[in-house]
C-alpha cells in the first residue's frame, strides 16, 4: 500500500494538502483534496467509502468497516478544514519537524487528530473486522458551521464516538455552547440641528450595553457549571449612524452568549428580551428589534457511558496514570453527536498555535493518542 498506518506520515501528508475553509476565507481551497486522500487511504484498507457532498466542493468522507456482528459500533470524528494562513511564519503547507514537534497549518487543529484516528482505525482492524462497526468520519466545515458533521449524522449513527480535537492528552467531558443575536436599537433620523425631531439610536444603545455588562456580572457571580464555570456574554460588533450631522435611526449590536449545560438558546433569547423589554418600559424613546442567529448547544458527556469508561481506561494504560478530566470553553462537534443520541467525548494531542502564526503538534502525543484510540476501538467494538 502506498501509505502506512504511521500517524506522523499521515499528519505530514495532510498538512501539505491545502484545506482552508472558504466560508471563512473566500477563495480557500476547501476540503476536496483532503477528502480525496482520506477516501483513497481508507478504501485501500477495506473500508466502504461514502462521500457526502451536499455543497459542491465541500465534501466529507466516511469510511465504514462493518463488524462481524454482536459488537458495539464506534465513530471517530475529525475535521479536515483549517483556518487561513494569515501571517503564518514560514510555509504553512510544508510540514517540518523540530525538537519533537511537527509544524504546519492544521498540525494542531486538527489534522493531528485526523491522522491519529485514521491510523488507529487501520491498526485496530488490520487482522480483520471487529464484532462492531468502525466508522471514520473526516468532516468538512467544523471551523465555520459544522455542516459536515450535520450531513454525516443524517446517514450514520453509532453506539459511541470520539471527537479527536486537540485536548493536551486530557479527556474533555464538557464544553460551552454559543448563541448569536442581533439587536437593532431604533431611533429617528433627523438633521443634527433638530434634536426636537431626532432620536439618537446610538445613545439609546448605550443603555443596552450597560445592561449587557450587568448581565455578565450576574452570570459570573452565579458560579455556573461544575467544570465550565459560568456562561458569559459580550457585545462583539456594533454599527450605526449615517453621518456627522444626522441623528442615527439605527444602531445594530451583535451579541454573543457563551452557554453552559442547562442554558438552552431559547432561554438566552428570553433573557435578552427581558432586558430589552425593561429598557423599553423605563427609557423614554427606547425601541428595539431582536433577531436570533446561529446557535450551538453546550455539551456534557455521561461519565458512566461505555465509550467514556473504555477511553478513560485506555488513556490510563497508555499514559501510565489516570487522565486529567477537563472542559473546554469553545464549541465542538461533540454537541451535534450528543444531540443525535450518540454518547461521545473528546480526546486529542498536545501542541499549540491553533489559528495562530505558528502551529505545531507534539509527536510523542500524536503516537499516544493513536495508541489510546486503537485500544478504544478494539475494546469498545469487541465487548
Question: What does the pLDDT look like over 323-345, one tens digit per residue?
Answer: 999 999 999 999 999 999 999 99
Specify whether the CB–CB gap between 375 and 368 falls below 8 A.
no
Tens of pLDDT along 8-18?
A: 999 999 999 99
Q: How confident is the model at residue 146 (pLDDT cuts 50, 70, 90)?
A: very high
Average pLDDT over the chain, rounded to whole? Answer: 97
Q: Give me the mean pLDDT over the 170-175 stretch.
A: 98
Over residues 276-321, the pLDDT tens digits come to: 999 999 999 999 999 999 999 999 999 999 999 999 999 999 999 9
What are the pLDDT digits (tens) for 176-215? 999 999 999 999 999 999 999 999 999 999 999 999 999 9
Q: What percent of the chain has pLDDT over 70?
A: 99
CB atoms within 10 A of CB 179: 26
d(CA 187, CA 173) in angstroms, rounded, equals: 46
pTM: 0.92
pLDDT, position 265: 87
Whether the pLDDT of residue 3 is over 70: the answer is no
CA distance 4 to 113: 16
Q: Which three cell numbers stand for residue 23?
A: 466560508
- Say what the pLDDT of residue 2 is: 39
pLDDT higher than 60, residue 375 = yes
Model confidence at 44: pLDDT above 80: yes
Phi-psi map region of 283: left, alpha, beta (phi>0 left; psi -120 to 50 alpha): beta
What is the structure's pLDDT at 383? 82
Please, is 23 exposed, middle or buried when counting C-beta atoms within 10 Å of its C-beta (0-12, 13-18, 19+)? Answer: middle
Residue 1 pLDDT greater than 60, yes or no: no
DSSP state of 110: I
Which residue has cell 449513527?
A: 157
- Domains with residue ranges and CATH for the chain: 7-175+298-382 (3.40.630.10), 177-296 (3.30.70.360)
Amino acid at each position: 500500500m502506498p501509505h502506512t498506518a504511521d500517524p506522523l506520515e499521515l499528519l505530514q501528508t495532510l498538512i501539505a494538502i491545502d484545506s482552508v475553509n472558504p466560508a471563512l476565507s473566500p477563495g480557500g481551497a476547501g476540503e476536496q483534496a483532503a477528502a480525496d486522500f482520506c477516501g483513497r487511504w481508507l478504501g485501500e484498507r477495506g473500508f466502504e467509502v461514502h462521500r457526502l457532498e451536499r455543497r459542491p466542493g465541500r465534501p466529507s468522507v466516511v469510511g465504514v468497516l462493518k463488524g462481524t456482528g454482536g459488537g458495539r459500533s464506534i465513530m471517530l470524528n475529525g475535521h479536515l478544514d483549517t483556518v487561513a494562513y494569515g501571517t503564518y511564519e514560514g510555509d504553512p503547507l510544508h510540514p517540518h519537524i523540530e525538537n519533537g514537534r511537527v509544524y504546519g497549518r492544521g498540525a494542531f487543529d486538527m489534522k493531528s487528530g485526523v491522522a491519529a484516528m485514521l491510523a488507529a482505525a487501520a491498526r485496530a482492524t488490520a487482522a480483520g473486522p471487529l464484532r462492531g462497526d468502525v466508522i471514520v468520519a473526516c468532516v468538512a466545515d467544523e471551523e465555520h458551521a459544522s455542516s459536515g458533521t450535520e450531513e454525516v449524522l443524517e446517514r450514520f449513527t453509532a453506539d459511541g464516538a470520539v471527537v479527536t480535537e486537540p485536548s493536551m492528552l486530557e479527556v474533555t467531558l464538557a464544553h460551552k455552547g454559543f448563541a448569536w443575536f442581533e439587536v437593532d436599537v431604533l431611533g429617528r433620523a433627523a438633521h443634527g440641528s433638530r434634536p426636537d425631531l431626532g432620536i439618537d439610536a446610538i445613545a439609546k444603545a448605550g443603555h443596552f450595553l450597560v445592561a449587557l455588562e450587568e448581565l455578565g456580572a450576574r452570570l459570573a457571580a452565579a458560579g455556573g457549571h461544575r467544570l465550565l464555570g459560568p456562561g458569559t456574554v459580550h457585545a462583539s460588533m456594533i454599527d450605526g449612524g449615517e453621518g456627522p450631522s444626522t441623528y442615527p435611526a439605527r444602531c445594530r449590536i451583535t451579541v454573543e452568549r457563551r452557554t453552559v449545560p442547562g442554558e438552552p438558546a431559547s432561554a438566552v433569547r428570553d433573557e435578552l428580551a427581558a432586558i430589552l423589554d425593561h429598557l423599553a418600559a423605563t427609557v423614554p424613546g427606547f425601541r428595539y428589534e431582536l433577531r436570533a442567529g446561529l446557535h450551538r448547544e453546550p455539551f456534557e458527556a455521561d461519565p458512566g457511558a461505555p465509550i467514556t469508561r473504555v477511553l478513560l481506561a485506555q488513556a490510563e494504560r497508555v499514559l501510565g496514570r489516570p487522565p486529567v478530566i477537563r472542559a473546554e470553553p469553545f464549541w465542538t462537534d461533540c454537541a451535534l453527536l450528543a444531540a443525535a443520541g450518540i454518547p461521545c467525548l473528546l480526546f486529542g494531542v498536545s501542541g499549540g498555535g491553533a489559528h495562530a502564526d505558528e502551529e505545531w503538534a507534539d509527536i510523542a502525543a500524536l503516537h499516544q493518542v493513536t495508541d489510546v484510540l486503537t485500544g478504544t476501538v478494539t475494546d469498545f467494538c469487541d465487548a
